Amino acid sequence: MMKKLVAAITLFLFLSPAFAQSPNDLFQQALVMERSEGNLQEAISLYERVVATGSDRSLAAKALIRIGENYERQGLRQARQAYQRVLDDYSEQRDTARIARDRLASLLAAMADKEPQRISSIVVKKHVMDIPDNSGHVSPDGRFLSFVEWTSGNMGILNLETGEEKLASSDGNWGQVSAFADRSIWSPDGKKLMYSWVWVRKGIEIRIYNTETGNMRVLVSSDSSEIPFPIKWFGNGKHFLAINEPRTGTDAITFVNAETANTRVVKQFSDNWHTFGEDLSPDEKHIVYELYEPGALNDGSAPVSLKILATDGSYELTLVDNGFRNFLRPGIQKANTSCI
């Protein structure tokens, strides 16, 4: 009885308007909810508020650990997501990150013991795809893989959990008027797949496929190659990073509105210089890319530079100047401090 009375008094103080709701206050309130009241969902909500404040990264990482453990107690898969958030967003909190890594490893091991056949079948499916294809991507939730089905030229989607394949287009062909899918990117919510569509000797399209409804719409259509190829969707779901790769002339790095197709040029290159391996940093403040001198894109021995460009175009840094191409598909780590 005394324990419940203390918990009730503590909750009253925390919930009082006069009581400042600092991250530490919210964390302590969540502990009361979790340990004294047994209200795990309310505790998770309070821990999420600690994370959302963003003012105390150490406490936010610990809150994510508590979120993960509370989801674990309920047998929910969100536990893995909470631990992964610690590793992705708070890796500098080394002690807490180590706890998250250990908990995540334990969960994956437990899942392997319970569902060895399902997990094994997923791994096997990944290895038996006999057509090399680097034009697709894994969806944000890790459930699907986009790829070009080169037999027909259509855009395909592979369910990594069930092994089921479906097509996001139906007009691919290698006939007199050949048509095929090319690069693809997922929207942040994983509900839309954007891909480029090539009509040989006719033009290029940028298409958006809705995975929930099965509907497809053409965002951009052109009778030339002057069209932005999608590279990466921004987190707001409204714009995407693209690269213009004309058959003649020079490349341009652009931002494109995913609804209206309005385009803003961030970097226009000159004198037939070309780019490759473009990527957007997790904080969406920088673009990394390889830069090739005229005529050198397909020459493996030609000098190449590695650049980082601010997304607002305000500055650019050179990481490698006139080196040789011993790197492939550069990318920026989630801490936003390193380039691989």
Q: What's the order of all strands across the beta sheet hosting 165-167? A: 144-149, 154-159, 165-167
Domain residues for the domain of 256 are: 122-271
Are residues 108 and 139 both part of a single domain? no
d(CA 45, CA 167): 39
pLDDT single digits (tens) 228-244: 788 888 988 898 988 87
Number of independent structural domains in the chain: 2
Torsion of CA 310, 219, 168, 230, to 10 degrees: -20
Q: Which of 95, 114, 133 is the last residue of a domain?
A: 114
Q: How confident is the model at residue 50 (pLDDT cuts 50, 70, 90)?
A: very high
pLDDT, residue 121, reads: 43
Report yes or no on 314 lying in a domain. no
Task: Provide the pLDDT for residue 134.
Answer: 60
What pLDDT score was predicted for residue 226? Answer: 63
Q: Which residues pair with 323 in a beta bridge?
A: 304
Query: In this predicted model, what pLDDT tens digit does every residue of 266-299 receive, in sequence order?
Result: 888 776 666 766 788 888 888 888 777 665 555 5
187 in the same domain as 254: yes
pTM of the model: 0.56
Read off the CATH number of the domain in which 176 is found: 2.120.10.30
Q: Are residues 88 and 159 in the same domain?
A: no
What mean pLDDT do residues 194-199 have?
89
Domain stops at, among 245, 271, 297: 271
